[in-house]
Structure 1
Amino acid sequence: MDIQEIPVEIIDRIGKIKGISFPRQGHTSRVAVLETADHRYVIKKTEHGLYNEWLTEEYKALQYLSETGLPVPKVYALCTVGTSRWLLMDYINGISLREFLSGGPELKIKEKAISHFGVCLKTIHECPCPAELRKSEHLWLDAMLMKAEYNLTHFEVDGSRELLVHLKKKKPEPIENTLIHGDFTIDNVLINNGNIVGIIDWSGAAYGDPRYDAALATRPNANAFDSRRDRDIFFESYGRFRITDEEYGYFEEGLYEFF
């Protein structure tokens, strides 16, 4: 991605770009930080199919969430150019929790960050869910299993036919749905000076099963959730419930494989 590629509609909205930089990239989009004379923006570009759909869902979700008080980026525009889509939103000054923890902070500082991560998820799950995200013909898990079937048929995913059959047969007992992030990982929470300042990548936002968020949040990573104590700190701060090993396996090692 370079400045010449950026759609005219976006350039007209933000004005002259004085600088462009490229933060750590994900697997589904290209991301750049744009600097103008008085502001910084983030632009995300996707190409084709499933990733374009996800970017559109993120744009909608950020609009719905803008009045909730959650620390989400302000979104400005979604542009379609050929087979690509471009999303323009505010830049939030922070680094991902993954980046922070990978730096090897002192134990007390690490544990404080994990505690804040747990409180952050509690805040999401206790936030009133926007009405637009509650509109669905199906229960969240049933809808996700249908999407998993579609993704397995039409896209390259990590899950298999055998796994999907197992997930359909072994659905956990339902619990009360809440607003969920849908991809609540240490990559998608931003911190600055030890405090959480942003939550990003909301394409999976829904009125859904909060155990899904809790499972993704506690995936083992380098210097994060690599010990029982990390999980204990997280769930003590989260305070709503603690998922079982079986629930973790169903959601993180099972359903997530199709997304």
Structure 2
Amino acid sequence: MQLADIPSEILGQIGTVQRITFPRQGHTSTVAVLETADQRYVIKKTEHELYNEWLSDEHIAMQLLQGKGLPIPKTHSFCAEHQSRWLLMDYIEGISLRQFLASHPSQEDKERAITSFGRCLRKLHECPCPMEWQRKESAWLDTMLSKAEYNLAHYSIDGNEHLLTHLKKNRPSTVQPTLIHGDFTIDNVLVRDGEVVGMIDWAGAAYGDPRYDVALAIRPKTNAFEDERDKHIFYDAYGKRRLTEEEYRYFEDGIYNFF
């Protein structure tokens, strides 16, 4: 991404860009930090049918969730241009929880960050869900399985037909739906001084099964959730029941492979 590539309607909103930098990149979008004389912004660009849809969903989600008391960026502009989509939002000062844990903090600081992570998810699941999502006719899991089937037929993903059949036949017990993030991983939570200050990448937000968020939160990664102690700290802060091993496998080893 070059400065000249950014749509003029976006640049017209923020004024002269003095500096552009590129943080660690994900797999679905190009991300840049734009610095003007008095503010920093994040701009995301996608160029793929599926990822364009996700960016649009993220924009809608963050608009609906503004003012709910959650640490999310404020959005300023969404632009569709040819085969690309652009989303401009405020920059939140912090690093991902994954980066923080990879820096080998002290045990005390590590546990404080994981505690904040668990509390953050509890706050999210207790937050009132926008009525626009609650009114949807299809249940969240039905929608996810339909999307999984579509993604399997049209895109290169980790899931396969055998796994999808298993997921359809072995649904977990029903629980009360809540507001969910839909991709609550240690990459999508920002921390500063060991405390959560931001949640990003809201494309999967919905009125859905909170166990999906929990399963993704406790996925073992280098320096994170590799032992039971990290999970105990997380669950103590989260304050709700632990997932069974079967539930964890259904969501993390199952549904997540199609997205």
Q: Report the TM-score when normalising by structure 1.
A: 0.99
Does structure 2 retain, via aligned residues, the 8 Å contact 1:182–1:213?
yes
Task: Tell me if the contact between 1:133 and 1:205 (Cα under 8 Å) persists in the aligned partners.
Answer: no
Deviation at 1:194, TM superposition (A): 1.5
Whole-Å separation in 1 of the counterparts to 2:176 and 2:138: 15
Where does residue 223 of structure 1 map in the other structure? Answer: 223
Find the aligned partners of 2:183 and 2:86 in 1 and give their Cα distance. 20
Instruction: Quote the Cα distance in structure 2 between the aligned partners of 1:135 and 1:157.
Output: 30
CA apart distance, 1:135: 2.8
CA distance in structure 1 between the partners assigned to 2:126 and 2:240 by the alignment:
10
Secondary structure of the equivalent of 1:50? helix
Residue 255 (structure 1) aligned with residue 255 (structure 2): yes
- The Cα shift of 1:11 comes to 0.6
User: Any residues of structure 2 matched to 1:87-166 within 5 Å, and which?
Assistant: 87-166=87-166
Check if 1:14 corresponds to 2:14: yes
1:133 Cα deviation from its structure 2 partner = 2.1
Q: Deviations over 1:36-91 (max 9, x none)?
A: 11110000000021000000000000000002010000001110111010000000
In structure 1, how many angstroms separate the alpha carbons of the residues matched to 2:207 and 2:64?
12
| Superposition pairs of residues 170-181 of structure 1, within 5 angstroms | 170-181=170-181
How far residue 107 of structure 1 moved from its aligned partner, in angstroms, is 0.9
- Structure 2 distance, partners of 1:194, 1:80, is 37
Structure 1: 5+ residue stretches without partners: none
Counterpart of 1:44?
Answer: 44
- Measured against aligned partners, the alpha-carbon deviations of 1:203-240 in whole angstroms (never above 9, x if no partner) come to 00000000000000000001000001111111111011
After alignment, is 248-257 or 187-196 more displaced? 187-196
CA RMSD after TM alignment? 0.6
Alpha-carbon distance in structure 2 between the residues aligned to 1:195 and 1:166:
39
Which one-letter code corresponds to 1:185 in the other structure?
T
1:29 aligns with 2:29: yes
Percent identical among aligned pairs is 61
Letter of the 1:148 counterpart = A
Distance 1:94 1:245 in 2: 33
Please list every run of at least 4 consecutive aligned residues from structure 1 whose deviation after the TM superposition is greater than 2 angstroms.
Answer: none
Structure 2 unmatched ranges of 5 or more: none
Distance (Å, rounded) in 1 between the aligned partners of 2:59 and 2:43: 12
Deviations 1:157-204 (A, max 9, x none): 100000000000000011000000000000011011111110000000
Which whole-Å CA distance do the structure 1 matches of 2:135 and 2:37 have between them? 41
Partner SS for 2:54: helix
1:93-152, Cα deviation, whole Å (9 max, x unpaired): 000000000000011111111111111100000000111222312110011000100100
The equivalences for 1:172-211 within 5 A come to 172-211=172-211
CA contact (8 A) 1:224 1:230 kept: yes
Count of matched residue pairs: 259
Following the alignment from structure 1 to structure 2, what is the Cα–Cα distance between the partners of residues 84 and 106? 43
CA distance in structure 2 between the partners assigned to 1:208 and 1:41 by the alignment = 30
| 3-state SS in 2 of match to 1:122 | helix
Check the 8 A contact 2:62/2:75 in 1, yes or no.
Answer: yes
Q: Hey, what's the Cα distance between the residues in 2 that align with 1:104 and 1:93?
A: 20
* 3-state SS of paired residue (1:240): coil
